[in-house]
Structure 1
Amino acid sequence: MTEEADDIQKKSVTIFGRDVAAIPCFRSSFLYGIGSGFAGGLTYFLFTSNTRWATHVGFTSFVIVTMSYWFHCRWQWSKKKFTHGQLQAVMQKQAMYEGTDYDLTDKGQVYEVKN
């Protein structure tokens, strides 16, 4: 029974040979897009009773919300990844220089480097 459960969890959707579950912001972008497309199309249909234009409005709102949320989320993700990379480099330097003349964390005092 556990092997079947593991197989079900391991299955994922691949598009062009790439696992979409591993793409940052993919899931949330599509969920927001689908929800907004449905809501936009349904709202337009309720006010006008025009099915053709309601589907156009629904699909257009799906595309616009999906793309805008995708770009916003990826922008924030890229900024966060860049900041984490900078922080990781500084932490590695701190660990390397700890206890030497280059260590700058001793009670806020800055030491001059002697050559």
Structure 2
Amino acid sequence: MSEREDKVNNYYSPFAKLRHNWLVILSLIIFGRDVSKIPCFRNSLLYGIGGGLFCGLFRFMFTSHTLKSVNFSVYSFSFITLGYWIQCRYNYSKTKFEMMRLQEMLQNHAILEGTQEAEIIEKELGTRPVDV
């Protein structure tokens, strides 16, 4: 490593360690599972909190009923969080399934490459191998 890279690493390393320590302290474990590692959890909560706060404040500005505004805020938080969670997890599952399917197809293609079966499949599909 160069002298400049050493200076940069020495300058930022204490902050990186401090940030890592705070993340360990702030991690939330529910039923033995770290919720920061659950896909879509963080974004769902952030959108829900922001949307609930906005809806509650908006309702309070027009009605000036505190209790109704707070109730509306909680309901909005719940619906936004649940709606975003469902949509995000659906897209996550769909993408994960497509990636698994693509990986399997690539493995099968690598196994069949150069065999008679590959030639038969290419003739049936009307495709030819691409030279890279």
User: When the two structures are superposed, what TM-score results if normalisation uses the length of structure 1?
Assistant: 0.85
- Of 8, 21, 37, 1:7 maps to 21
Deviation at 1:99, TM superposition (A): 1.1
**Rounded Cα–Cα distance in structure 1 between residues aligned with 2:78 and 2:91:** 20
Q: CA RMSD in A?
A: 1.9
- The within-5 A match list for 1:1-115 is 1=14, 3-11=17-25, 12-103=27-118, 104=121, 108=127
Q: Count the aligned residue pairs.
A: 109
Task: Kindly report structure 1 stretches of 4+ aligned residues shifted beyond 6 Å.
Answer: none
What amino acid is aligned across from residue 20 of structure 2 in structure 1? D
> Quick one: percent identity of the two aligned structures?
40
Cα deviation, residue 69, structure 1: 0.6
Matched to 1:87, the amino acid is L
**Aligned to 1:79, what secondary structure does the other structure show?**
helix
Task: Could you tell me which runs of 5 or more consecutive residues in structure 1 were left unpaired when the two chains were aligned.
Answer: 110-115
Q: Normalising by structure 2, report the TM-score.
A: 0.75
Larger fraction in helix: 2
